[in-house]
Copies of this chain bind each other. A is one copy, B any other.
Amino acid sequence: MSDLPVSPLAPGAFPDLPAIAGVRVATRACGVKYKGRTDVLLAAFAPETQAAGVFTKSLTASAPVDWCRKCLTGGVANGLIVNSGNANAFTGRLGEEAVEQVVEAVADRLACRPSRVFAASTGVIGEALNFRAITDELAAMAGDLAAGGWHAAAQAIMTTDTFPKGAAAEAAVNGRTVKIAGIAKGSGMIAPDMATMLAYVFTDAAIPAAVLQDLLADACDRSFNAITVDSDTSTSDTLMLFATGAAGNEQGFSGPDDPALADFRAKLEAVTLDLAQQVVRDGEGASKFIEITVTGAATDAAAKTIALSIANSPLVKTAIAGEDANWGRVVMAVGKAGERADRDRLNITMGGVTIAKNGLAVDGYDEAPVAAHMRGQEIDIAVDVGVGNGRATVWTCDLTHGYISINADYRS
């Protein structure tokens, strides 16, 4: 929905997402800020739809994030309202009132309690949200509610995204097939005034909220919490999972590790990872998609810290933009991560080719295959730090003139 050209790393087309029994959506051009495009998404859920959520760790979180955190204690969702164009962040008491006005109006239309309506706003921060632009259209939107419509839903929540993001999967739960469909927005990780990350996943599985929350938190750790574009954290980042129960699978799970949930767990992670990687592929100015795997760390958490240190290093990211297999910058990023690493047992490979082994450049290292790998769009870096069994994989994109242009040359 932005004027920017579609990212060169974008998938070919929006995927085919199934309708989810118990979920209806509607979108509309309410003119919150943008003209000539949809900017509000309304979703209505079956009565006992279970909800789970993971939110920004920012200490200056937006008013809608505060609202969702509070409502999530109830575990049940009947509605969801999302607007683009205005983030309703750093808006003080006015921001809280705007959220209340909007969710109360949605609750009236869906005949449910306001505390069962979740909300999100993404766009410019520090400006009062013109909530009447939304509430005035809710009657019409409620009339439009229908199953499916994911492509339109993904488009309505875009800000500087250059393509809408969706992913789907099926999973077997106690002999029933359940469906999972997800949409996301985000490009740049994350500017509060332009690129908040939002992701919503919907399923017809019957899974209680407490179990759902654990499943979502785990999936998030290995997907949305394993990607970075520029190390910045939005005031509004939100990932939510809604389970309508319409698939009618048997319940009584012992917890998130119940074997009956193994397939669902794997497929949920696949959907969140697909969405998260699409966010990276829409990273501001991105020309290359980078996968970084760290092994041999003291713990998995240490491995992730080291991997993110590499992924967030401006010097590593600019080297890759320049198609330079600059392993010295990788060493630097390992060193600054603050986690244990054995300099004399460090191994580094790029594109599967070993560049440095046991802390030294490989004798007779042939740069040609690595140089060819660096000219591609998909870059793999693997580092073994030689002290333990901890491992982690994270994803990022390169840092290019395009990023500077988007964030410096265009005045917001």
Contacts and interface: CB of A to CB of B under 8 A. Distances in A.
A100 B340 CA distance: 26
Interface in A250-309: none
A407 B314 contact: yes
A234 interface: yes
User: Which of A91, A126, A319, A340 neighbours the largest number of chain B CB atoms within 10 Å of its CB?
Assistant: A126
A153 interface: no
Contacts of A89: 328, 331
B192 A328 contact: yes
B322 A407 contact: yes
B233 A335 contact: yes
Contacts of A127: 361
A283 to B, nearest CB: 12
A397 to B, nearest CB: 13
A136 interface: no
Contact of A408 (B61, B318, B333, B407): B318
A373 B39 CA distance: 35
B360 A314 contact: no
Given A124-B328, A125-B328, A233-B332, A318 B360 contact: no
B322 A409 contact: yes
A403 to B, nearest CB: 7
Interface in A382-412: 398-401, 403-405, 407-412
Contacts of A403: 314, 318, 404
Contacts of A336: 57-58, 232-233
Interface string A234-248: 110000000000000
A359 interface: yes
Contact of A343 (B59, B124, B321): B59
A329 B59 contact: no
Helix, strand, loop or mixed for chain A's interface? loop
Contact of A126 (B90, B324, B328, B335): B328
Contact of A331 (B125, B341, B398): B125
B60 A360 contact: no
5 pairs of A and B residues whose beta carbons are closest in the complex: A60-B335, A58-B335, A322-B408, A233-B336, A318-B407
25 contacts: A56-B335, A59-B334, A60-B332, A60-B334, A61-B335, A89-B331, A90-B328, A90-B346, A90-B360, A92-B360, A125-B328, A126-B356, A193-B326, A232-B315, A232-B336, A233-B332, A235-B331, A318-B403, A319-B407, A322-B407, A322-B411, A400-B404, A401-B408, A403-B404, A404-B404
